[in-house]
Amino acid sequence: MHNKKYNIAVAGATGAVGKEMRKILESRNFPVKNIRYMASSRSEGKILKWKDRDIKVEDLQKADFAGVDIVLFSAGGNRSKEFAPKAVSSGAVVIDNSSAFRMDREVPLVVPEVNPEAALNHKGIIANPNCSTIQMVMALKPIFDEAGIRRVVVSTYQSVSGAGLKAVDELMQQTRDFLDDKEIKCDIFPYQMAFECLPQIPQSDAFGENGYTSEEMKLLNETRKILEDDSIRVTMTAVRVPVIGGHSESVNVETIKTIKPKRARELLSEFPGVTVIDDPARQKYPLANIAWGKDDVYVGRIRRDESIECGLNMWVVADNLRKGAALNAIQIAELLIDRSNI
């Protein structure tokens, strides 16, 4: 890090990811000169802390981005499309956590440990990948570099915090009501979420013509873009599970060259931001409760796929609000600062 300090804005500061962004900026001693918090008009005037200072939340609709160096956006795709270009025209670099710009050819889609160079070619906006994509490509990258990847089959087990703070509240209330034998009310989710698995993410989306959800298609399209290989075949099922925080994934990888589980463990152990927990004889493997609140992506249950010549199975777990969103965005900002690209 250089000695220079930066004017930072967090758009969507009151949401689940915005809250994590605020915590991580502070815990990582990000070189902040001044910080501004922005959200919808409902939160205008609300007081949020930055270290020992009180910061008044501004209405994003009225915000002037003049003088801001970096804007961390996590205010939803529509707001990103509307306000990110305004921030860029004011001279800011935007790191956007929504899906608004991810597949735009002019916008880099970046996981700093995986494709840092892509960030340096930005034209004002850098996209943060989807949470489930980030943790998967972190586990795939060292294997991809060593043995190539022909095909990935992934099933996700995604926590309700990925659907926002109100979704967490709904799960908690439904759980209490279920245990008290009361009527279960559904507002955020189309069905009861407590003690249930819902194979539809996001819950508000219609299924596509091909039968896949938008969340599932992100795993295909974003993986190819990040790894810069359109030949990789990916098929996916995304499932919401009644876990508060932390996404888990069963990832099956068909490689081009043979790679043994022992070698995969070595490569993953050496890869920055990955922790291997893989000792099945002692019942040691990644869990959402282990990953929640942590920065790393956890990988375990690494074993040969007995059904094909060149294949591995892995269990991949990460905190969806940290590495899956807020932390990755802040790491992109740190990368730009380290490379004197801002």
Residue from 166, 157, 160, 102 nearest 129 by CA: 102
User: Could you confirm whether 131 is annotated as catalytic?
Assistant: yes
Distance CA 185, CA 5 (A): 48
Q: Is 2 an active-site residue?
A: no
Within its chain, how far is the Cα of 167 from the centroid? 17
Catalytic residue among 122, 186, 247, 310: 247
Residue found under tokens 């800011």: 92
For residues 242 and 194, the answer to whether their CB atoms sit within 8 Å is yes
Name 204's Cβ contacts closer than 8 Å, sequence gap at least 6.
Answer: none
314 contacts 8 by C-beta, under 8 angstroms: no
Helix (H, G, I), strand (E, B) or coil at 28: coil
- Measured between alpha carbons, how far is residue 163 from residues 13, 107, 245, 320, 331 in Å? 16, 25, 10, 10, 23
Burial class (CB in 10 A: 0-12, 13-18, 19+), 153: middle
- Residue where the block lists tokens 């996981």: 111
Q: Give one word for 246, left, alpha or beta, with left for phi > 0 and alpha for psi -120 to 50.
A: left
> Which DSSP category does 160 fall into?
G
Catalytic center residues: 131, 247
